[in-house]
Amino acid sequence: MEYHYDSGSSSSHSNHYLQPQQLGSTSLTSQRSLLSVPSLNPRHNPHINHTSHLITTLKSHNNSSYTSSLTLFGKFLLTGSSDREITTWNRTTYEEQEQQNNNKVIAGKGAVKSLVIQSNKNTLFSAHQDHKIRVWKLTNDQTKYTHVATLPTLGDRASKILIPKNHVQIRRHKKCTWVHHVDTVSSLALSKDGKFLYSVSWDRTIKIWKTKDFTCLESITNAHDDAINAVVVSYDGTVYSGSADKRIKVWKNIQGNDHNNNKKKHKHSLVDTLEKHNSGINALVLSSDESILYSGACDRSILVWEKEDGGGDDEDSTKMVLVGALRGHKNSILCLAVVWDFVCSGSADKTIRIWRGVGRDYCCLSILEGHQGSIKCLTAVVEHCDDNSESEEPSFLVYSGSLDCDIKVWQIFVPAI
């Protein structure tokens, strides 16, 4: 097996990862918006700046590092920083769990690029700039981390190293086993049953891991022509990957029989390629019912892809068709999040936009301003949703991490349709 990896070929993926002192420069981070794709939101929006407010600003990491990833776990917010820290915040008090003295761990080298939680196992997976994935066990109160494994594990590497076909060429005079990522691990996603972890990397590979024993089941080499920045997985196991090569690729797991040991063999095959962005793709997210895929890129647009009714055929049932674009940001889209029927987008223009779609009609409900740097990561969660409550208007919370080193917590009130 031969895998050619040129460490210089993925330079475009790093254009939007500017250091704080470079925040004023936008020429590297943005390209022309797509003029050929129709807009789904009106140019002049009467509903803009619907009721929302900033609850608090959190300052977790030191002034020289920013929040590069975040996720929610019950009443806690977990954040990863550009200087290899993972920190736990109590969402009820918005304070670090300092009294436990275990609220923070430092691991690897460089940024923590992605965090995902396997909630039924109290397990945290973290992706790192040093090419590794780390596994942590959290206590029930989520205040203490125990390091469980680093992927690929020693056992996984040892089982592959003696067999020549397991080695791949990464440079002219260097090889390693196919279970290794050889560049930044940029994004992680879990299958809905929690059995499989998917990782993508700037080395242009997609890897699939078993969460039970942390072995690497499969590696899709040269999955894209440039660095892979984003991955999402649907309930039916369809995998969507977004890359600096301007493409979204759709993968399905094809199960066959391994006649050597009578076990089912897992292999992902490419079933579709979505090509409409004219610049590198930074973010992907599925709608709550997974019928819509949203993609954000350096062309300042969020493209909206809808699942086509394929009449029951397996391959056609995953076919996504482009229906239009959401426009308004003045710079690259760096992150996306979904809650209910709302889409939240973070941009290098230092703003967050809240979008709502009814059918194919979208409007921008609010523009959240306050960060002094590009918005690097977002997550959102329902806050009040009791229809019988007269005291609380339905609302959700948005958590944003920025290159300005701040984490902001916003409350968005839900308007009636």
CATH at residue 210: 2.130.10.10
Structural domain contains residue 11 = no
Domain count, the chain: 1
| Tokens representing residue 54 in the block | 């900033």
Residue type, 153: T
pLDDT at res. 22: 37
The domain in which residue 270 lies consists of 31-413
Structural domain contains residue 15 = no
pLDDT at res. 133: 98
List the Cα angle 207/203/266 in 5-degree steps.
20
Structural domain contains residue 1 = no
List of the chain residues with pLDDT < 70: 1-34, 44-50, 60-62, 95-102, 142-143, 169-174, 256-266, 310-318, 384-392, 417
pLDDT at res. 152: 95
Q: β-strands 67-73, 52-58: how paired?
A: unpaired
Residue type, 116: V
Structural domain contains residue 37 = yes
Of 401, 399, 265, 286, residue with least CA distance to 338: 286
Structural domain contains residue 25 = no
pLDDT at res. 24: 35
Model pTM score? 0.88
Distance, CA of 75 to CA of 395 (rounded, Å): 17
237-to-195, 202, 287 alpha-carbon distances in Å: 11, 22, 15
pLDDT at res. 47: 55
Residue 39 pairs in a beta bridge with 325
Q: Any residues with CB less than 8 A from the CB of 289 and at least 6 apart, and which?
A: none
Neighbours of 222 (CB within 10 A): 11
pLDDT at res. 176: 80
Contact 242, 234 (CB under 8 A): no
pLDDT at res. 416: 74
Q: Which residue reads 């990862």 in tokens? A: 17
Structural domain contains residue 2 = no
Of 252, 242, 379, 392, residue with least CA distance to 303: 242
Structural domain contains residue 275 = yes
Structural domain contains residue 18 = no
